Amino acid sequence: MGLIRAQNRTTAVATLAVLLLGSALGLIFFYAPTDADQGFSQRIFYFHVPIALTSYVCFAWGAWKALGVLRATEDPERVERNDLESYVAVHLGVVFGALTLITGSIWARASWGVWWSWGEDQLVLFLVLFLFYCAYFMLRFSVAPGRQRANMSAVYALFGVVLIPVSFLAIRLSKKFIHPVVFTSHGPQMATSQLATFCVALAAMLLLFATLYHVELAGKRVDIRLRELRELLT
Amino acid sequence: MIRARGLGKRFGERRVLQGVDLDVPAGGFLLVTGPNGSGKTTLLRLLARLAAPSAGELELPERHRLGYLGHDPLVYRELTPLENLTLFARLYRIPEQGERVGMLLERFGLWDVRHERVASFSRGMQQRLGLCRVLLHEPELLVLDEPTNALDADGLALLDGVLADDRRTRVVATHDPERVGRLATQRLALA
Amino acid sequence: MSYLADVAALARKDLLLELRAKETLPSMLLFVVAALAIFHFALPAGTSHAAALGLLWSALVFTALLGLTRAFVPEREQGLLDALVLAPCDRSAIWLGKAIAVFAFLAAAEVVALPAFAAFFSSIDGSTVAAVALADVGICTVGTLLGAMAVAGHARELLLPLLFLPLAIPIVVGGVGASAGAGPRYLLFLVLYDAVFSLLAWGSFEYVVAEE
């Protein structure tokens, strides 16, 4: 029963994601106005920033589940469940992170003619986070599966999520700004149509994450069940 | 003292222990036997609170009422016996630690070498120091994993003395049930 | 307080171990001086003071990594974490004792490195020294925790640089900024980093060494 409900939920989320992605693409290419400075290539912004924000959400979700791992000391099943969920979230965060770096690089190339800019602090610090979370996987590969690995992954995921604001502060400290500041303390400096497109794109990316999350989790759980059954038979 | 029902342990998908039931009263002596790879060490680590069960229930004394001696004697090789035991006496909050440490070192024949680095000792002497460490805080439950392995003749005699003491509960895993098992009140053979 | 006595006993143990083994501290001293010498040859003539400072911080971070990698070796080689973890003392005392010991080694290496830097390149001022001291706190608290993690796996020493370097980057940003005299904000940032991550490390250490 639970499985069927989960499947229905995943299908609903997936459908919604597809709808929103379709709408977002339509809005991005046909509705949003062309930017005066950067022209058509500015539209990459509608991909780049929502993807970046979504990867932050992935890492935050992973950290939330990591807290679940650390709190569930007496219950091995809850530890495993939360560990798996945290791992999938971090994994997707790294995927979205890689996409952020790629889209950011394309945007940099289109806007300023360079594939990478070290003076571009926000991009650089995203690279730092990306490196950090790749080390997460090295950590998991290095330790045998079990409670200790779950605990360590959880602690590391928590360190990661704390690193995000600390890194933002480090950016602000370094004064070089090539990255156009779109959201200032006075609110978004965008026209209404641009803001609408951005919001739809953001919602679409978040739902894409949700879909991939549920699909990957379901797949991994089936894998685990299969292996358990195989062990019982031998 | 120890109660286990359906105790199981797995590492990822690898199932090492399954369906173990135990009832060891205070003062009992449980002997655990079995071939290599049967899970003896894993079971002992579970009983020493160094590993958590994957399935089943396990009731044990608090971790500071336990004493564990694994395959390694668990002493710092670059420190002297005196420094080693003083450190653990401090961590276990033992009152009058000087006296207790001295008494144990004498009992296990290490008083004369108390200021020499453990690295210069034979394996048998290191194991004897390990026994001192394990008895330092007078644990209610002693968990010893193959304690006879490294000991020389003197050491084995001292170990017999430790094992004969029925004021504490003892769990011992061994390859040599003849020698060690004479005093056992219960046995568990792992497959 | 009992907790502080535990920490003192454990820190004393780590310092004693190094005093006897004489492996970590000499390597760190040699490494940092050799690195600075290499940097002198690697930099083209007329390099700015700021660039040289950047290399100082690189040398410090990698020297620290050397010390941190050795930090848990006694416990790992002899399985001693099992014995320490069963004691009734708070497990975070193990972390704090070891972090203090690593801090001592790092400070000793810097007592040599900073004058060497001043001799090879250009003089350093008070805010550099303050930045180094603050950075050391962050390096030791975070690095000790990560060292315990690295040692539990089979990649061992190979894993620690991967885990540590991303977290060291904000430290370097703060340190270089402070050394270059770009304002007290950088020192404050280092204080923030230290406070936040030390607290996190202190609270999470017991989970890292918890039961399997």
| Gap between the Cα atoms of B47 and B41, Å rounded | 10
Indicate yes or no: CB of A76 within 8 angstroms of CB of B15. Answer: no
- CA-based nearest residue to C87, from B106, B67, A17: B67
- Cβ neighbour number for residue A205 with a 10 Å cutoff: 26
Q: Closest to A159 (Cβ–Cβ): which among C155, C167, C211? A: C167
| Strand (E) or helix (H) holding C68 | helix C49-71
| Gap between the Cα atoms of C10 and C205, Å rounded | 15
Q: Which residues of C touch A168 (CB under 8 A)?
A: none
In the sheet that holds B66-69, the strands lie side by side as B66-69, B141-145, B169-173, B29-33, B186-189
In DSSP notation, C139-160 reads HHHHHHHHHHHHHHSSSGGGHH
Q: Three-class SS of residue B33?
A: strand
With 90 as the cut, is the pLDDT of residue A82 above it? yes
- Phi, psi torsion values for A183, nearest 5 degrees: -100, 110
Looking at residue A36, its pLDDT comes to 65
Angle formed at CA A82 by CA A79 and CA A83, multiple of 5 degrees: 80
Q: What is the pLDDT of residues A173-191, one digit of tens each?
A: 765 434 555 554 445 566 7
Under 8 Å CB pairs connecting chains A and B tally to 18
Out of B55-64, C79-88, C94-103, C168-177, the most confident range is C94-103
In DSSP notation, A73-113 reads TT-HHHHHHHHHHHHHHHHHHHHHHHHHHHHHHHHHHHHHS
Q: What is the pLDDT of residues A10-40, one digit of tens each?
A: 888 888 888 888 888 888 777 777 766 666 6
Instruction: Identify the residue with better confidence: A233 or A65.
Output: A65
The residue to which tokens 């390149």 are assigned? C121
Burial class (CB in 10 A: 0-12, 13-18, 19+), A4: exposed
- Cβ neighbour number for residue B31 with a 10 Å cutoff: 21
Q: What is the pLDDT of residues A114-147, one digit of tens each?
A: 666 655 556 777 888 999 999 999 999 999 888 8
Q: A211: which DSSP letter?
A: H
| Gap between the Cα atoms of A161 and B127, Å rounded | 45
Q: Closest to A231 (Cβ–Cβ): which among B11, B13, B52? A: B13
Q: What ipTM does the predicted assembly reach?
A: 0.90
Is the CB of B156 inside 8 Å of chain C's CB atoms? no
Which range, of A48-52, A74-78, C44-48, C137-141, averages the lowest pLDDT? C44-48
How far does the CA of residue B3 sit from the closest CA of chain A (Å)?
Answer: 17
| Helix segments in B5-96, DSSP class H | 40-47, 81-91
Structure-block tokens of residue C43: 């930099």
How far does the CA of residue C24 sit from the closest CA of chain A (Å)?
Answer: 24
Indicate yes or no: CB of C165 within 8 angstroms of CB of A131. Answer: yes
Looking at residue A178, its pLDDT comes to 41
Cβ burial C52-80 (10 Å sphere, 16+ → b, else e):
bbbbbbebbbbbbbbbbbbbbbbbbebeb
Angle formed by the axes of helices A192-233 and A45-71, nearest 10°: 40
| Gap between the Cα atoms of A213 and C110, Å rounded | 47
Using a pLDDT cut of 90, give the percent of chain C over it: 61
In DSSP notation, A4-37 reads HHHHHHHHHHHHHHHHHHHHHHHIIIIISPPBTT
Angle formed by the axes of helices C126-152 and C92-120, nearest 10°: 140
Is the CB of C145 inside 8 Å of chain A's CB atoms? yes
Query: Are the beta carbons of B5 and B56 closer than 8 angstroms?
Result: yes
Is the CB of A227 inside 8 Å of chain B's CB atoms? yes
Q: Which of B9, B11, B14, B50 to mutate to test the interface with C (most CBs of C within 10 A)?
A: B50
Residue of A nearest to C209 (CA): A148
Using a pLDDT cut of 90, give the percent of chain A over it: 38
Angle formed at CA C14 by CA C71 and CA C29, multiple of 5 degrees: 60
Q: Three-class SS of residue C39?
A: helix
- Cβ neighbour number for residue A142 with a 10 Å cutoff: 20
**Residue A76: partners with Cβ closer than 8 Å, 6 or more residues away:** A147, B52, B53, B54, B55
Query: Are the beta carbons of B174 and B148 closer than 8 angstroms?
Result: yes
Side-chain half-sphere CA neighbours of C60 within 13 A: 35
| Gap between the Cα atoms of A65 and C63, Å rounded | 35
Q: Which residues of C touch A119 (CB under 8 A)?
A: none
Q: Closest to A163 (Cβ–Cβ): which among C165, C167, C185? A: C167
Query: Considering chain A, what is the average pLDDT of its residues?
Result: 83
| Gap between the Cα atoms of C136 and C117, Å rounded | 17
Residue B59: which region, alpha, beta or left (left: phi > 0; alpha: psi -120 to 50)?
Answer: beta
How far does the CA of residue B14 sit from the closest CA of chain A (Å)?
Answer: 9
Indicate yes or no: CB of A228 within 8 angstroms of CB of B11. Answer: no
Structure-block tokens of residue B134: 């394990």
Q: Which residues of B touch A146 (CB under 8 A)?
A: 11-12
Question: What residues in chain C have their Cβ under 8 A from chain B's Cβ atoms?
Answer: 2, 5-6, 9-10, 13, 16-17, 20-21, 74, 78-80, 82-89, 211-212
Mean pLDDT confidence for B140-159: 88
How much is the CA Rg of chain B, to the nearest whole Å?
17
In DSSP notation, B71-101 reads SS----TTS-HHHHHHHHHHHTT-TTHHHHH
| Gap between the Cα atoms of A14 and A8, Å rounded | 10
Residue of A nearest to C200 (CA): A159
| Gap between the Cα atoms of C153 and A144, Å rounded | 7
Q: Which residues of C touch B88 (CB under 8 A)?
A: 83, 87
Indicate yes or no: CB of B52 within 8 angstroms of CB of C13. Answer: no
Q: Which residues of A touch B54 (CB under 8 A)?
A: 76
Q: Closest to C16 (Cβ–Cβ): which among B11, B83, B90? A: B83
- Phi, psi torsion values for B67, nearest 5 degrees: -130, 130
Which range, of A117-131, C71-85, C100-114, averages the lowest pLDDT? A117-131
Indicate yes or no: CB of A146 within 8 angstroms of CB of B12. Answer: yes
With 70 as the cut, is the pLDDT of residue B63 above it? yes
The residue to which tokens 């490494």 are assigned? C31
| Gap between the Cα atoms of C67 and C7, Å rounded | 19
| Gap between the Cα atoms of A109 and A104, Å rounded | 9
Confidence of residue C46 (pLDDT cuts 50, 70, 90): confident
Q: Which residues of A touch B12 (CB under 8 A)?
A: 144-146
With 80 as the cut, is the pLDDT of residue C78 above it? no
Q: What is the pLDDT of residues A195-229, one digit of tens each?
A: 888 888 999 999 999 999 999 999 999 988 888 88
Q: Quick one: CA torsion of C135, C75, C210, B68, rounded to 10 degrees?
A: -160
Q: What is the pLDDT of residues B74-126, one digit of tens each?
A: 999 999 999 999 999 999 999 888 999 999 999 999 999 999 999 999 989 99
Q: Which residues of C touch B68 (CB under 8 A)?
A: 82-83, 86
Q: Which of C91, C149, C189 to mutate to test the interface with A (most CBs of A within 10 A)?
A: C149
